[in-house]
Every structure is written in C-alpha cells, then in structure tokens.
Amino acid sequence: MKSFKHHITEKRNIQDLIEKQIIVGKGARQGQIVFLAGGAGSGKGFARNNFLEGEKFKVRDVDELKKAFLILAKTKDKYKEIRGLDLRRTKDVMKMHMFIKNKGIQDKTLDLLLQGGKLKHLPNILIDTTLAEAKKVDKLVPQFMASGYDPKNIHIVWVLTNYSIAVKQNRNPERGRIVPEDILLATHEGAANTMWNFIRKGTPRGVDGGVYIVLGGPEHTVLWKDKEGKPIKTGKKKDTVVVKDFKYLVMKEPGKSMTKEKDLLGQALSWIRTNVPKSTITKNLFGTGQKKE
C-alpha cells in the first residue's frame, strides 16, 4: 500500500511535468470559438482532451448528440423511430443521421450554447466537425459574430490523421459506431480540400483566429511515462494521459494573414500528401497518386 508521503511526491511529480498543448486565446475561459476539424476516425476526441484545453470549452459534438438521443429512446417513452438503432450498422447510421437533420437538433443545441453569451458572457465553444464542406463555417460564423464573438477569437484546428489509421479506428468494435466507408472516405477528402483551400486562399470572412494542423496518430504523440514505462494518467478517474510532445504546424496567427512561408507551406503539403486517402480526388488536388484502399 502506498504511503501518504508517496502520494504527495507522486502528485508533485505530475504537476512538475510540462504538458504540451495548443493554447488558443492565451488560455481565456470565455469568448473563444474552435472549429475542430478532421475526417471521421481521426481521433478528434483525443485531440480535444489532450492537445487543447478541452475542459475550458462547451462542446458541440453531433456523435455525442446521437448517443444521447438513443439513450432517451431506450429509457424514456420518446423517439420510437430511432429506438433500437445500432450505430455499427450502415442503415442505422443513415437513419440516425436523417433523424438529427430533420429535427434541426444541431441548430437548437447551438442556440442553447449561445444563450449564455446573451445573458452574461460569451462561452468558449468547440465545434467538432469533419469540415468536409466549407459551408459549415459560412453558416455558423455569422451566428457567432451576431452574438458578439471577435473574429480574432474564432480558430480552426485540423487533426490530420493517416487515412489507413482512421479506417482501422472506424472499424474498432469498441468505438460504438461505424461510419460507412464511402462516407468515411468523403469526409477525409473533403476536410483536406477545405483546409488546403483555406491555407492557400485564406479563411472565410469572420474567421481571423489561429489556424493549426495537428498530425494525428499514436506514432506522432509522445506521452509522459512513469518509471515502469507506463503512461502517466491524471484526472479524477485517472483516465487522461499527459502529453509530452506532438507534432503541429501554425499556419496562421490570430489577427494575421495566412503564412506565405515556403518551408511551412511545403511541410503542410507534405503532411497532406502522406496522410490523405489515395483517391482520384486527392490525386487531382495534391498529386498523391491513385490506389485502392
């Protein structure tokens, strides 16, 4: 059994560790918007919890909404049309998608998140999205600006994970849901197209915060480990790892123009070519070469 002195020493050692993170808005607890982008299966949830100060944000995650409504359908006398759906089955995934879309639930949840801004202060909000289409940003940004958010505080973080890893993660039965593979492919192609257009041509009007590319995947993430070589975990449930290092690029600083630095742009393009799916679309966009996945 560990002594009290051992627990105090262990706690101090954890506090002394330097955890690498992307700090948006200088760590502000209000007034920040982050679009967390990336194709399905990219590991955005891990990035949110470990690469960003996720605890400072209210999160709008459609996948979590779907889970919540399935629980309500199972435990309450509501939403019989989705009762019993299994998000590991393609047909059920599509039924659930249409249920959320037809109900306008995404818009309603955003309205609820923004109510706090109208009354007291502007909450930090993180939008978990594939960003397969730029119109997602075009639709939401005017709402944020109308609520009082400063364009310099609206940021984009793209989690760029190798497509083969995303495919494996998507097929993991413990994931609880499986995205149909044609849609999975489209989200990765779309996210790459959207983000590369932003990098080359600039972000949409109203988005003047930072733009970052995070290289996802376990091989690019270094964790702090204990003397036994096991990842050090923190949090009340001891379920959060402490990240020592990970790879990311800053393509735009808040309030400044998108970078024109050739080496940085070259590095970003190299990451994209290495990690996006090898398809006809990416071949035309990035010269990746075409092969079947």
Tell me what pLDDT residue 153 has: 97
d(Cα 58, Cα 162) in Å, to the nearest integer?
28
* Structure token digits, residue 214: 């995070």
Output the pLDDT for position 180: 86
CB 170 within 8 A of CB 184: yes
What is residue 191's predicted lDDT score, i.e. its pLDDT? 97
User: How long a stretch of residues is the chain?
Assistant: 293
Position 6 scores a pLDDT of 38
| pLDDT (0 to 100) of residue 69 | 78
How does pLDDT run along the chain (293 residues), one tens digit per residue?
444 333 334 444 444 456 689 999 999 999 999 999 999 999 999 999 889 998 999 998 777 777 777 878 788 878 888 888 887 777 887 787 788 777 776 667 777 777 654 546 899 999 999 999 999 899 999 989 988 999 999 999 999 999 999 999 988 877 767 888 999 999 999 999 999 999 999 999 999 999 999 999 999 999 999 899 999 887 777 777 889 999 999 999 999 999 999 999 999 999 999 999 999 999 999 987 544 44
Residue 177 CA to residue 95 CA, distance in Å, equals: 13
- Helix (H, G, I), strand (E, B), or coil: what is residue 230? coil
**pLDDT at residue 46 in the model:** 92
| Residue 246, strand partner residues | 221
pTM for this model (two decimals): 0.83
Among the four given CATH numbers 3.30.519, 2.60.40, 3.30.70, 3.40.50, the one describing domain 32-57+124-293? 3.40.50
225's tokens: 């480990």
What does the block give as tokens for 14? 């954890």
Task: Look up residue 96 and give its two tokens.
Answer: 């659930």
Domain segments of the chain as ranges: 32-57+124-293, 60-122
Q: Which residues contact 282 (CB under 8 A, 6 or more apart)?
A: 189, 192, 276, 288
Tokens representing residue 185 in the block: 């492919």
Q: Which of 123, 170, 114 is nearest to 146 (CA)?
A: 114
Burial annotation 111-132 (CB, 10 A radius, 16+ → b, else e): eebbeebeeeebbbbbbbbbbb
The Cα–Cα gap between 223 and 149 comes to 34
pLDDT at 120: 62
How many angstroms separate the CA atoms of 50 and 21, rounded?
A: 7
Using left for φ > 0, alpha for ψ between -120 and 50, and beta otherwise, residue 235 falls in left
Quote the CA–CA distance of 160 and 215 in Å, as a whole number. 5
Rounded to whole angstroms, how far apart are CA atoms 126 and 128? 6
> Which pLDDT belongs to residue 292?
42
Direct distance between the N- and C-terminal alpha carbons of the chain, in angstroms, rounded to an integer: 51
Residue 194, amino acid: T
Q: Where are the beta strands (DSSP E) in 161-198?
A: none
Q: Is the dihedral of CA 82, 91, 48, 201 positive or negative?
A: negative
Predicted local distance difference test score (pLDDT) of residue 260? 96
Q: What sign results for the dihedral spanned by CA atoms 123, 128, 134, 139? A: negative
